[in-house]
Homo-oligomer: A and B are copies of this chain.
Amino acid sequence: MDVQSYMHGVGRAARAASRELARADTAAKNGALEAMAAAIERDRARLLAANAEDVAEAKRKGLEPALVDRLGLTEKGVASMAQGLREIAQLPDPIGEISDMAYRPSGIQVGRMRVPLGVIGIIYEARPNVTADAAGLCLKSGNAAILRGGSEAIRCNQAIAACVREGLEAAGLPEAAVQVIETTDRAAVGELITMRDYVDVIVPRGGKGLIERISAESRIPVIKHLDGVCHVYIDDRADLDKAIRIADNAKTQRYGTCNTMETLLVHVTIASRALPLLAQIYREKGVELRGCERARAIVDIMKPATEEDWYAEYLAPILAVRVVDDLDAAIEHITVYGSQHTDAIVTEDYTRARRFLREVDSSSVMVNASTRFADGFEYGLGAEIGISTDKLHARGPVGLDGLTSLKYIVLGDGQIRT
């Protein structure tokens, strides 16, 4: 069968299933999630064996070690997939929530009801756990899902898909509620992102290259997360202890995450006190520093920063450091070079904190907290499908609500318009 017919068949089935899912009650959805978790635990050995074959083939093909690394699934990984599904079952069901009901002068009562988006296409790379996570989030939010994983993970993804289908069946939900694409043909992605009749939103998860390509080519709206070029600005009215703690944590708690600080901005007045303390911490942890001239005059171990450094998302133990004259200069730097992901100010000054919150146009803006908190779990969303750096629809960590829409509902007693 050709890829186009296959994908259109998948799309039609997803659209039909989405209508059933939108009406599914909370107990059925939670029952399916629990049954999926149980099937995954029961099939642990089979999942690990399928994954071992994927890994072996990836090595044989000479795929890069970082990718092979992300592909690997452990016993703990299987357990946490099942646990993740159970946690999604525990979350409140967003669908059908009614809010803001109010009477209008005409006598009608108007409010909004939370409803699913419909069909969500998710395109992702190596990590097989995304298959279970994404299936769970889409299901709980009443959406049908079409999942397209990396070809290198096809065996493990199909083994997970079997568990997902079993869970759906056990709960009496349509099998097509979650479909994992069975072909590794790249043309399937091209179909998925252009089937406007069958797919309502595309969520790409993976490296920047993948996300840029999908965004450029998709004819369907995309919820996407590009760079995380995150900043911490240490104001001269900062509490120095908090500043050191936050600038340390934001950079070094994990290097490879999108909410890791990539550029440190320091007010000129506090730079001579803050930078030597920080430089020592970073040196001990093996973080390479690249600074502007003024920063290098204070801490001589820094390499000079180039214009590219201000734009860089290192995802590595490297930090750009810039001394700035004031809050305005800090905000200007963030506006010009940042990626509107997460930026923090450290200050005890009320007015500056307030200005930073209002004027920095990023999906998360923080006062006296580490950028590492920008995360669906830390924010209390329960789970996240990704972090959106867009402004339309969803911004910042996207949980179940981000996969829903609000329709208006009107309750009347025979009212007509005059």
Contact = CB atoms under 8 A, between A and B. Distances in A.
Contacts of A361: 19, 22, 115, 118, 407
A391 interface: yes
Contacts of A367: 409-412
Interface stretch (A58-66, A100-108, A170-178, A269-277): A100-108
B414 A380 contact: no
Interface string A128-147: 00000000000000000000
A104 B317 CA distance: 29
Given A110-B380, A200-B392, A396-B408, A368 B104 contact: no
A246 B239 CA distance: 65
A410 B110 contact: no
Nearest to A242: B414
Contacts of A300: none
A61 to B, nearest CB: 35
A231 interface: no
Contacts of A358: 23, 96, 113
Interface residues of A, number: 66
A378 B104 contact: yes
A362 B249 CA distance: 47
A271 B415 CA distance: 21
A118 B391 contact: yes
A211 to B, nearest CB: 15
Contacts of A366: 409-412
Interface stretch (A49-57, A72-80, A287-295, A369-377): A369-377
A409 B357 contact: yes
A221 interface: yes
A393 B357 CA distance: 23
Contacts of A410: 344, 364-367, 369, 373-374
Nearest to A367: B411
A418 to B, nearest CB: 8
A284 interface: no
Contacts of A416: 245-246, 248-250, 253, 369-370, 372
Contacts of A239: 414
Nearest to A254: B417
A414 B245 contact: yes
Q: In this complex, which of A239, A368, A405, A417 has the most chain B Cβ atoms within 10 angstroms of its Cβ?
A: A417
B374 A408 contact: yes
Nearest to A360: B407
B368 A415 contact: yes
Contacts of A357: 113, 409
B408 A363 contact: yes
B108 A369 contact: yes
B245 A392 contact: no
Contact of A407 (B365, B373, B393, B417): B365
Nearest to A397: B408
Contacts of A327: none
Given A200-B391, A358-B23, A412 B369 contact: yes
B359 A392 contact: no
A54 to B, nearest CB: 32
A374 B287 CA distance: 58
A296 interface: no
**What 4 A-B pairs come out closest when comparing CB atoms?**
A369-B412, A242-B414, A249-B416, A372-B417
Given A22-B361, A250-B416, 4 more contacts: A110-B380, A239-B414, A365-B408, A373-B410
28 contacts: A19-B361, A22-B359, A102-B380, A108-B369, A108-B378, A115-B361, A115-B391, A117-B392, A200-B391, A221-B221, A242-B413, A242-B414, A248-B416, A249-B417, A361-B407, A363-B408, A366-B409, A366-B410, A366-B411, A367-B412, A368-B412, A368-B414, A372-B417, A373-B410, A373-B417, A379-B408, A392-B392, A396-B408
